[in-house]
Structure 1
């Protein structure tokens, strides 16, 4: 019996506002080239957008918040990892901020703060762990099924696995 190796890819991006669009484009092109179904590619693209946006927007550990467009902002890098294995697509983003994401219900008038809520809603599982290999920061990841679950009773929520918060 031959073992199917997982498909994996990583890309390093500057943590600037254009990183989000580049990460989405890379995700779409790569997963499509791997034969991932279009609906799954679109969901992965949205997860990548949210995870990358969080990595770009949130303040770096120990530093005061600085506007993304300020001359005082120092540019660092983040890393996007994509993997297809064991019936799932896994997206992960490493950044230098060790502060874990927090799942919260934003105010109805808030213009931001829904990223992790979106990740929770769209993924079968998600989590966060400290960066490894002596790197600072954390990795936030999310997984989605390659094939949508079957719905016998027509109630989509009854069969959808809930995300585990880590």
Structure 2
């Protein structure tokens, strides 16, 4: 619904990806092309960083969950939703992993564990939630 204060209606775009190594790159490209098509070039760099971290985590979690349960990964287990509303970009990523991600405080010399911290730092609002659909 468009309120009188809104200049443009919200714009939502979704994509589904297979849980494979090249998915983060494809998701970044999807975000970049979507934002460029909407004339939002200023959002591209940060959006690509957030999408990359979230989708990489989703792919890893989906593959780990598939190995833990002995089931084959779904052909499209990672979905990405982009919603532009009043100049604010909302990014949502959903996967089929059994466990929910959690913010970590890694050791200084740890090679992993900073992705969600980066996402939180680049975001106005950041949360993790279980939803049946993205």
**Superposition TM-score, scaled by structure 2 size:** 0.83
Deviation at 1:73, TM superposition (A): 7.9
Structure 2: distance between partners of 1:103 and 1:2? 36
Structure (1 or 2) with the larger CA radius of gyration:
1
Deviation at 1:131, TM superposition (A): 2.0
User: 1:51 — aligned with what?
Assistant: 54
Deviation at 1:2, TM superposition (A): 8.3
User: 2:86 — aligned with what?
Assistant: 86
Q: 1:60 aligns with which of 58, 62, 65?
A: 65
Q: Which has the higher helix share?
A: 2
Structure 1: distance between partners of 2:85 and 2:96? 26
CA RMSD of the aligned region, Å?
A: 2.2
Higher relative contact order structure (alpha carbons within 8 Å, sequence separation ≥ 6) = 2
Correspondence 1:37 to 2:37: no
- Structure 1 residues 98 and 131, CA, compared in 2 at 3 Å: closer, same or farther? farther
Structure 2: distance between partners of 1:15 and 1:100? 17
User: 2:13 — aligned with what?
Assistant: 9
Structure 2: distance between partners of 1:126 and 1:89? 12
Deviation at 1:18, TM superposition (A): 0.7
Q: Which has the higher strand share?
A: 1
Q: How many residues align?
A: 126
Correspondence 1:19 to 2:23: yes
- Structure 1 residues 116 and 110, CA, compared in 2 at 3 Å: closer, same or farther? same
User: 1:74 — aligned with what?
Assistant: 72
Deviation at 1:87, TM superposition (A): 2.9
Structure 2: distance between partners of 1:101 and 1:64? 16
Structure 1: distance between partners of 2:91 and 2:80? 7
Equivalent residues of 1:16, 1:75 under 8 A apart: no
User: 1:114 — aligned with what?
Assistant: 114
- Structure 1 residues 56 and 73, CA, compared in 2 at 3 Å: closer, same or farther? farther
Deviation at 1:29, TM superposition (A): 0.9
**Superposition TM-score, scaled by structure 1 size:** 0.68
